[in-house]
């Protein structure tokens, strides 16, 4: 087995490498003066089972192109199997046609990865489960729930917890977490979104008075939805509100918006590398998913069960 890392999330790749006690394959991933990407692998990968670690987060197009070129380089170097390990799958929110004459970009990206030569895809908390069906190759969608639930129980296990979905579409995710938290009660935020990046909380479905609320979602971008939901929950008598989100996109003024909100804390994973160190005293905290990804990589390489990670 070989591990190869792109430039999108080097700290996570190193953490996976350390967990598996397998060094990262030596390679050069650099750019020419006109920003064209060039990849050169400095080790023999012929006949190897190669896991390529690369999130397609910001800058999404650069990181996606880097992933495709790395796959092509491995295929031309006669790697036996290439698994694209994508902790964050970019373009996942464009998984359907929201209106006439619009693309389904998630399907296009799936086609590009398959055509480039990937044999398998490994991702975490895909925005929509049907994206697995966009690929014509095996696709494993890992869940961050075990990492999240362990942290919640360690920090807030003595509180009367209610799990809250920030919208109707996230109810399945919230119910799964509630089941892990000894069947905690569930509440739903009734949200209306007029356009992308803007939302307005309309109502809270469920009893949250005197409860410690855990908001759960897969992606936080502008953080407007979470901040509005936290304000609505507090207005309904919630004791406190903490948000757990797998992918911290956190674009624009998201961090400042969280700092000024009713949220006690926003917890994200390290699926996306921001390039900045989280300052002490801020409301944003990161959990690592390196052990989860590393265990999945080991099981795929050994041809053993990945789903048993979540039993």
Catalytic center residues = 191
Q: How many CB atoms lie within 10 A of CB 271?
A: 27
**The two structure tokens encoding residue 55:** 């999130």
User: Is there a binding annotation on residue 140?
Assistant: no
**DSSP code string of 156-198:** HTTS-EEEEESSGGGHHHHHHHHHHTTS--EEEEEEEEEETTE
Beta bridge partners of 219: 247
User: Is there a binding annotation on residue 225?
Assistant: yes
User: Is there a binding annotation on residue 127?
Assistant: yes
Look-up of token digits 């970009």 = 105
Q: Are 162 and 208 in contact (CB under 8 A)?
A: yes
Q: Are 31 and 63 in contact (CB under 8 A)?
A: no
Q: Which helix (H) or strand (E) holds 218?
A: strand 212-220
User: Is there a binding annotation on residue 222?
Assistant: yes
User: Is there a binding annotation on residue 173?
Assistant: no
User: Is there a binding annotation on residue 224?
Assistant: yes
User: Is there a binding annotation on residue 35?
Assistant: yes
Omega into 243 within 30° of 0, i.e. cis?
no
User: Is there a binding annotation on residue 81?
Assistant: no
User: Is there a binding annotation on residue 151?
Assistant: no
Q: Are 124 and 246 in contact (CB under 8 A)?
A: yes
Closest CA to 218 of 192, 243, 251: 243
User: Is there a binding annotation on residue 218?
Assistant: no
Beta bridge partners of 190: 203
Task: Detail the residues annotated as belonging to a binding site for ATP.
Answer: 34-36, 93-94
Numbered residues of the known binding site for D-ribose 5-phosphate: 193, 217, 221-225
Instruction: Mark the binding-site residues, compressed into ranges.
Output: 34-36, 93-94, 127, 167, 193, 217, 221-225
Q: Residue positions in the annotated binding site for Mg(2+)? A: 127, 167
């Amino acid at each position: 087995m070989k591990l190869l890392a792109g430039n999108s999330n080097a700290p996570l790749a190193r953490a996976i490498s350390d967990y598996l006690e397998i060094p990262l394959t030596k390679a050069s991933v650099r750019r020419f003066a006109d920003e064209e990407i060039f990849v050169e692998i400095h080790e023999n990968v012929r006949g190897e089972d190669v896991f390529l670690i690369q999130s397609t987060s910001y800058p999404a197009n650069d990181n996606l192109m880097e992933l495709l070129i790395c796959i092509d380089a491995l295929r031309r170097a006669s790697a036996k199997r290439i698994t694209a390990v994508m902790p964050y799958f970019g373009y996942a929110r464009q998984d359907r046609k929201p209106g006439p004459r619009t693309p389904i970009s998630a399907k296009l990206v799936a086609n590009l990865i398959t055509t480039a030569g990937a044999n398998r895809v490994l991702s975490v908390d895909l925005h929509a489960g049907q994206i697995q069906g966009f690929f014509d190759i095996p696709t494993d969608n890992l869940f961050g729930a075990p990492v999240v639930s362990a942290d919640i129980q360690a920090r807030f296990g003595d509180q009367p917890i209610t799990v809250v979905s920030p919208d109707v579409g996230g109810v399945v995710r919230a119910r799964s977490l509630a089941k892990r938290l000894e069947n905690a009660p569930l509440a739903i935020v009734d949200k209306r979104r007029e356009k992308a990046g803007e939302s307005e909380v309309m109502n809270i479905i469920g009893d949250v008075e005197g409860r410690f609320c855990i908001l759960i979602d897969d992606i936080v971008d502008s953080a407007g939805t979470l901040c509005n939901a936290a304000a609505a929950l507090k207005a309904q008598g919630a004791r406190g509100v903490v948000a757990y989100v797998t992918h911290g996109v956190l674009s624009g003024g998201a961090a400042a918006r969280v700092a000024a909100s009713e949220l006690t804390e926003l917890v994200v994973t390290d699926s996306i590398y921001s390039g900045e160190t989280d300052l002490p005293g801020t409301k944003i905290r990161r959990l690592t998913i390196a052990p989860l990804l590393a265990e999945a990589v080991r099981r795929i390489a050994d041809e053993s069960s990945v789903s048993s990670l979540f039993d």
